[in-house]
Homo-oligomer: A and B are copies of this chain.
Amino acid sequence: MKTALILCAGYGRRMGGKIKPLMKVGGREILYRTIKLLKDNGLERFLVVVNEKNFKPIEDFLKSNEVDYEIILNPHPEKGNGYSFYLAKEKIKEKFVLVMGDHIYGEDFIKSAINGEGLICDRNPRFVNLSEATKVFVEDGRAKRVDKKLDNFCCVDTGFFVLTPDIFKVAEEIVRRKEVVSLSEIMEKANIKVTFVDGLFWMDIDTEEELKKANRIVVRSSYKGIGDGFIARNLNRKISLRISEILVNHITPNQATLISFFIGMLSSLLNFISIPLAGIVYQISSILDGIDGEIARASLRTSKFGGWLDSVLDRYVDFSFLLTLSFLSNLNNFEWFIASLAIFGSFMVSYTTERYRGAFFRDFYKEFNFKFPGKRDERIFLIFIFCLFSFLGKFVIISLLILIALITNLRVLATILVVSRRYL
């Protein structure tokens, strides 16, 4: 199966005439997501049915995305989506996917749906407005009724189909005798086979509200939590995900990396003015540090370079903060000895696990259930708290340095031990 037919000839009336397939969710056009996920699952050829109004913008979009596409113009979109579908008749000679251009689907959904047959239905539609959904009454594994207004139904039409070209004969028959034809009619008439894919993420986008909801879900589900410390899980992510929801359609992941880097470096400099203020800004930069990854995953823009740059810049921020804090505390020789241990231990927490990836090509945190404290989010939160109390005297900063030196170096030691125990 190589071909997908995507219907984009609808008017998008409730969205003020905006072109729904080109509206951004999680930093990417709905159409981009659908094509990307179908491509990831082996499809290669994309037939897109458009209307006269959105022809040019959709063509420009497809051109700029290096995809093997063919545009089919529907000069009469008022004849219904069944008619749009029928127009692809001559272009398709083998099994294909049919999908709605204004529906958004999650990765898991497409992975399951693509192995189905006929109309893909959801018995547990968690994300759609049921009153607006097309319901399906199933009998003997086939669609007996397909309609928005059904009292007796067991599942909902997801707008995703896996079909064979026979279906066009049924479509043709209806098109010949009726002026306006809906896809539901064709499927009902064809008594199409039903496959259930239940409870996974998919939505049709009809209103601005649904667009926002989809955006929120896509951003939230980008967060996996692997490698996060206690503070990140319970505080930082709760804030950063909300910010990412807003920023995801406006900035790139690398821009987010640079913003959190500059705020982090700024916090170091703020030590010269006010240590408590510096601590607050440092903690803010720690929250913002999650945004680049969230945006990258939500907008399908993760890059190896982005991950590398973020890690390297994080080391600079952490070093600068401890360095300026130590310098401004006018430490003596022995106190600097401790500060150096704190700085070194903080690096090594990252080094041991990143070097693990470089050696084993696998993620340390996926391999080991490692609960020792001392991750970056936890260190920064600790520094932030101690900075707030720095007015009590130099001993606060020295206590902080001792604490960090201890926690980080013990954590590194524990890392060396667990890895050695597994491989020696």
Residues of A within 8 A of B (CB): 254, 303-305, 307-309, 311-312, 315, 319, 323, 326-327, 330-331, 333-334, 336-337, 339-341, 343-344, 347-348, 350-352, 354-361, 412, 416, 419-420, 423-424
Contact = CB atoms under 8 A, between A and B. Distances in A.
A51 B377 CA distance: 67
Contact of A419 (B305, B340, B352): B305
Contacts of A319: 340, 344
Among all A-B residue pairs, the 8 with the closest Cβ atoms: A357-B358, A305-B423, A308-B359, A336-B336, A358-B358, A304-B359, A354-B358, A319-B344
Contacts of A357: 357-359
Contacts of A305: 359, 419-420, 423-424
Contacts of A254: 424
15 contacts: A309-B419, A311-B359, A312-B348, A312-B352, A315-B351, A327-B333, A336-B339, A336-B340, A340-B343, A351-B351, A354-B355, A356-B358, A357-B358, A357-B359, A358-B358
Contact of A308 (B330, B340, B419): B419
A355 B308 contact: yes
- Residue from A326, A340, A350 whose CB has the most chain B CB atoms within 10 Å: A340
Given A308-B356, A424-B254, A327 B331 contact: no
A360 B360 CA distance: 12
Given A305-B420, A312-B352, A315-B347, 12 more contacts: A305-B359, A305-B424, A308-B355, A312-B412, A315-B348, A315-B351, A323-B337, A330-B333, A336-B336, A340-B343, A351-B354, A357-B357
B354 A354 contact: yes
Contacts of A354: 351, 354-355, 358
A340 B315 contact: no
A358 B362 CA distance: 8
Given A323-B340, A336-B331, A355 B312 contact: yes
B360 A308 contact: yes
Contacts of A419: 305, 308-309
